[in-house]
Amino acid sequence: MSPVFDFEKAWLLKLNDAIDSSAGEDIRKTVLAGSGNLTAQTPRQEIIEWTVKAVEKLKSHLGEAETDRIMTLCACRYPTPGLQKARETWEETRDIDQVLDVLQEQFESFMRDSIGLSEEEVEYVVSKNMGLAGIRKENTIIATRIPKSGFLKKCLNEKDSEKRREYYCHCPRVRDAIKSGNAVPPSYCYCGAGFYKGIWEDILQMPVEVEVIESLFTGGDVCRIAIYLPD
């Protein structure tokens, strides 16, 4: 039997490695103090409170920009095999618009075939510019995250705006924080921005920069990420 995936332990390991490689052992120990026993079974309020303190410690020691960068290293990664066609398109054409077309086609197929959205629901998601591809403006791509796939249909059909926000985020900490009326520092959402950073660095095989331009904790109803492509 395969071991049960524990999101908390997996995420803390990524944070541990990101801080260690960027800031060293002393700061890593300071920031991660109290995290040793955190697991998926830990009371959610305890995890939220620890997360807030950890991000605040990072900012106090390293500043906001470096904290944002470290958080991008904690992101979930899009499966590399799923980006093969987009990467091959880039290598063959050096045309970002063709790459975006590939990503959009894959995304719409995923919504229909894997999530089971109706054509009307797919059209609604596309009209909101949600998904992998985003909208290109010269060397910048603006991507709007879809709600977590397991809650996507529920989120799209929910009439209450606060309930939609509870269903929206992919991160269990954020969903729990919103449900309980708490907030986490906006820098935490750079973890989600790192998802897109990983996608484009995998496709282009070169570094890209990302910026959170809207999130649930900056007053938005969605999360929008700017991906700044190399010249």
- Domain positions in the chain are 7-72, 80-228
φ, ψ dihedrals at 213, nearest 5°: -105, -10
Whose structure tokens read 């990072």?
58
pLDDT tens readout for residues 51-72: 999 999 999 999 999 999 999 9
pLDDT tens readout for residues 18-40: 999 999 999 999 999 999 999 99
Q: Give strand pairing partners of 130.
A: 144
pTM of the model: 0.92
**3-class secondary structure, 229:** coil
Rounded-to-integer distance, Cα 211 and Cα 231, Å:
17
Q: Which residue has the higher pLDDT, 227 or 164?
A: 227
Helices assigned H by DSSP within the chain: 7-23, 25-32, 44-62, 64-72, 84-93, 96-110, 119-127, 152-157, 161-168, 172-179, 190-204
Residue 2 has pLDDT above 60, yes or no: no
Rounded-to-integer distance, Cα 189 and Cα 211, Å:
10
Q: Are 121 and 83 in contact (CB under 8 A)?
A: no
Rg (CA), the chain: 18
Residue type at 39 in one-letter notation? T
